[in-house]
Structure 1
Amino acid sequence: MKRSVPAACCATLLILLTSCGGGSSDTGTAETPTGTTGTTGTSTGTGTGASSSTLITLDHGGFTLQYDCSAHTAMRYEYTLDVDTGSAARPSAFTLDPDLPAGCAQQTSTSSYASVMPGWDRGHLVTSNHMDASAALIARANHMSNIVPQVSTFNQGIWLDAENVAECHRDLAPVQVVGGVVYDDISNDHFVSSHGIRTPDWFWKVIVTTDTSGATRAIAWFIPNRPMLNTLDSYLVSIEALEQQVGADRVGLGTLPLAVRQSKPASTWALPAGCGLG
C-alpha cells in the first residue's frame, strides 16, 4: 500500500523552473570500478561485517549515509555546511563505492539510467556542489552509493531549488542538511535488472540553521519523484509531519525543540541577495 501523503504533494501543475547553479543534468560517464579498498570512508554496522540485511552508517568525511546493503541504496544522508570556500570540480565519471564493507552489496552498474529509460538522471542525494571543499570529497559524492534514479525534470528543477536553499544560507550561518528517500511503489522500478536498485518514490529534505538572533529555525519538504511538479512551497511540511510519514528515528531530529519541529514556514526561504551558487 502507498503511504498517506500531505494534500500538497498531489499538486501536478507544470511550471518552468530556472536553474542557476547547484545540481545539473546527468552528463557524467560510467567508469569501470577498480575493486580497490578505499581509505577515506569508514562504515559501522552490526557484527563484524555487513550482511545482505544490514543497515550501516557510511562516513565519507564530509557527509554520512545510512545505507541499506540489501536494497543497494542510501536511505538517509546528513552533513553540515559552513561558509562556502570550495571550488573543486565535479568529476566526469561515476564510480562504485570502494568504502562499502565486504558483503554489503551496491548497484551493479555506473551507467546512466537514461540508457535504460530516457528521462531519468543519476541523481545525487548529497549535493556534489556542497562537497566541493576538496577533489577527494566531491569524488566521494559521485560514488553510486550516493546516487539514485531521479526524474530528470525533478533533478534539474525542484531538487536543485532545494539544494540552492542550503547553498545560499550556509553563508549566513552553519547549515545542517538531513534527508532521505521513501520506496512505496513498484510501478516505476525500471532499473532493478540493469542496476540492482529500485526507484525512490519520495524524497525528503530538512535544513536546520539559525536566524540573525541565533534562534534555531528549520524548513522541510516531502516531494514526489515525478515530473510536472509545482513549486517547493507546495511540498513544505513540518518536521513533526515528516516524522509521521517516514518515522521519527529515520528523520533523527528529535533533539530539536518541539516548537521548531512543529513549525512550517509559510513559504520556502528566499535566497539571500548576492548569493553565489558556484
Structure 2
Amino acid sequence: MRIILLFFLLSYNFLEAQNIEIQLKNLETKLENLRLQQKEVLLAIEDLKMQKVMADLQPMLPTLGVGEELVSHSLMALVYAEDYEQARWVGHIITPDVVNGVVGRTNDFRPDPKIKTGSAVEQDYFIKTLQPDSAYVYDGFGYDRGHLAPSADFRWSEKALSESYYYSNMSPQLAEFNRGIWADLESLLRAYLFRNSTTQLFVFTGPVLKPGLPTIPRAKNKVAIPEQYWKIALDFKNRKAIAFLVPQNTKGYPLTSFATSIDEIEKITGIDFFTGLENTLEETLEKQIDKSTFLTTIASGDVEPLSAVTLPPAHFNSVQARLYMGRNEEIKVCGKVVGARASRKGNILLNLDQQYPNELFTIFINKEQLVNFSYDPLSNWKDKYIVVRGKVNNLGNVPVIYVEKENQLSEFREK
C-alpha cells in the first residue's frame, strides 16, 4: 500500500512539474509575442514621427535651381552636385528625440541609391586591399569622410542614422577639421536641444562649391575638396537663427569667430533658404547672428579675438600669439580679460578672450612678482581690453606670457 501511495505521489509531483513547465513556456511565449508587438508598435510610431519631421521640413527647403533634383530620405533631404561629387546642401531637423536617442554609429558607408547619376563611392576616399591572411590594408587619400548631416542627430532612428552614411552626405574634410571644430559645431547644435527640449532645430549644411576647386587626385570620381563649409540653424518656434562659415584651415580661431548670418551664406552659395516663410519674418530671421543663444561660451562672457587687420603694427591677437610660442621673440598681445583667477599657490592667471578651460592665451604672474605691482592685477584688469608685452611660452599647449613687472601690461585702446 505504501509503495502504491509513494508511486502516486511521485507521479503527481512529476505531472505537476510538467504542468508548471508548460505554464512557464506559455508565459514566455506570450511575453515574446508582446515584445514583438511592442517592437512593431515602436517602429510604427518611429515611422510616423519621421513622416511628420519630413512634412515639417518640406516647406523650409531651399528653392531648387535649374536642373536640380530633390533627393529625400527618411530624415534628410539633399541636392546632389554631380560636378563636385557631393551634396550642394543637406537639410534635416534635430528633434527633441535626440536627447534620449541610443542608436550608435553604424559606419555602413555606401553609395546613395537615389542619386541617378551615381554618388561618390568608397574608392573616392581610400583603397582597401585584402591580404592572404584575410586582413585588409587601407591606403587612405588623406581626407576623412566628413558628414554634412551628422549621424548623431539621428540617433533615435536606426534607419535614418544608417542613411546618414550614404556617400551623398559625405565631403572630404581634413581630419583635424572634421574631428575638431566641425564636430564641436555639430555638438553645439545638439546641445541646444538639451537646453530647449520643446522645440526643434532646422539645420542646413553644405560645402562652398565653386569652379576651380582641387580634387582628390586618386579618387575614382575626382571628388572636389572644398575650402569652406557652412551650416545654418533655425529655431522657428522661438524665432532664433544663426549660421557658420568655417574654413578647413581655421588658423586656430575659435568657433565663435565663424558665426555669421543666413543672408551671408545665401550670398556666398547662391542658395535661397526658407522661401516658405512670410517675407518679413524671413528677412528678420536671415539677418540674425544670435551668438548668445546658440554659443554658451559667448553667453558666459567669452568674446571673439580682436580682428588682426585692425590692430596697430607689431600687435597680435590671442590666436596669433600661438605662432610665436618658443620663438624667444618679444611681442605685444591684445585681448579682453574674460577670466581672472588666483591659483591655490597664489599665482595670478589672466585669460584673454576665452575662459579656462578653453583658454586661447594666458597671462601668468608669479606670486613672488606681485610686489612689483602698485595695484591688484585681478581687480584692475578683469573685463578690460589689455596689451601684454613679452616672450610667448608654452603652458600646457596654451600660449602664455610670464609677466614680472607692471609696465608689461597696459590698457588697449583702439586707434
Q: Which has the larger radius of gyration?
A: 2
Aligned to 2:80: 67
Is 2:174 the counterpart of 1:151?
A: yes
Is 2:89 the counterpart of 1:106?
A: no
C-alpha separation between the residues in 2 aligned to 1:106 and 1:144? Answer: 6
Q: Report SS of the residue matched to 1:93.
A: coil
**Amino acid across the alignment from 2:104:** A
C-alpha separation between the residues in 2 aligned to 1:266 and 1:80? Answer: 20
Answer whether contact 1:116 1:194 (CA < 8 A) is retained. Answer: no
Is 2:266 the counterpart of 1:243?
A: yes
Answer whether contact 1:203 1:223 (CA < 8 A) is retained. Answer: yes
Higher relative contact order, chain-length normalized (CA < 8 Å, sep 6+): 1
Aligned length: 216
Structure 2: state its 5+ residue gaps.
Answer: 1-49, 51-65, 127-137, 300-415
Answer whether contact 2:80 2:115 (CA < 8 A) is retained. Answer: no
Q: Which deviates more, 84-93 or 128-137? A: 84-93
Aligned to 1:94: 109
Deviation at 1:251, TM superposition (A): 4.3
Q: Report SS of the residue matched to 1:94.
A: coil
Answer whether contact 1:128 1:142 (CA < 8 A) is retained. Answer: yes
Residue of structure 2 aligned with 1:252, choices 270, 273, 285: 273
Aligned to 2:183: 160
Residue of structure 2 aligned with 1:216, choices 202, 219, 239: 239
C-alpha separation between the residues in 2 aligned to 1:219 and 1:192? Answer: 37
Answer whether contact 1:57 1:65 (CA < 8 A) is retained. Answer: yes
Deviation at 1:77, TM superposition (A): 0.9
Higher relative helix content = 2
Residue of structure 2 aligned with 1:226, choices 246, 249, 259: 249
C-alpha separation between the residues in 2 aligned to 1:147 and 1:226? Answer: 18
Query: In structure 2, do the counterparts of structure 1 residues 240 and 160 end up closer, same or farther at CA, with 3 Å as the change threshold?
Result: same
Deviation at 1:208, TM superposition (A): 0.8
Is 2:290 the counterpart of 1:265?
A: yes
**Amino acid across the alignment from 1:87:** V
Deviation at 1:246, TM superposition (A): 1.4
Answer whether contact 1:184 1:201 (CA < 8 A) is retained. Answer: no
Aligned to 1:20: none
C-alpha separation between the residues in 2 aligned to 1:134 and 1:57? Answer: 22
Structure 1: state its 5+ residue gaps.
Answer: 1-39, 41-52, 273-278
Q: Give TM-score, length-normalised by structure 1.
A: 0.68
Answer whether contact 1:79 1:177 (CA < 8 A) is retained. Answer: yes
Q: Give TM-score, length-normalised by structure 2.
A: 0.47
Identity %: 21
C-alpha separation between the residues in 1 aligned to 2:145 and 2:155? Answer: 18
Query: In structure 2, do the counterparts of structure 1 residues 191 and 89 end up closer, same or farther at CA, with 3 Å as the change threshold?
Result: farther
Deviation at 1:150, TM superposition (A): 0.4
C-alpha separation between the residues in 2 aligned to 1:166 and 1:251? Answer: 22
C-alpha separation between the residues in 1 aligned to 2:167 and 2:161? Answer: 13
Deviation at 1:244, TM superposition (A): 1.6
C-alpha separation between the residues in 1 aligned to 2:90 and 2:286? Answer: 19
Deviation at 1:266, TM superposition (A): 4.6
Deviation at 1:187, TM superposition (A): 6.0
Answer whether contact 1:124 1:147 (CA < 8 A) is retained. Answer: yes
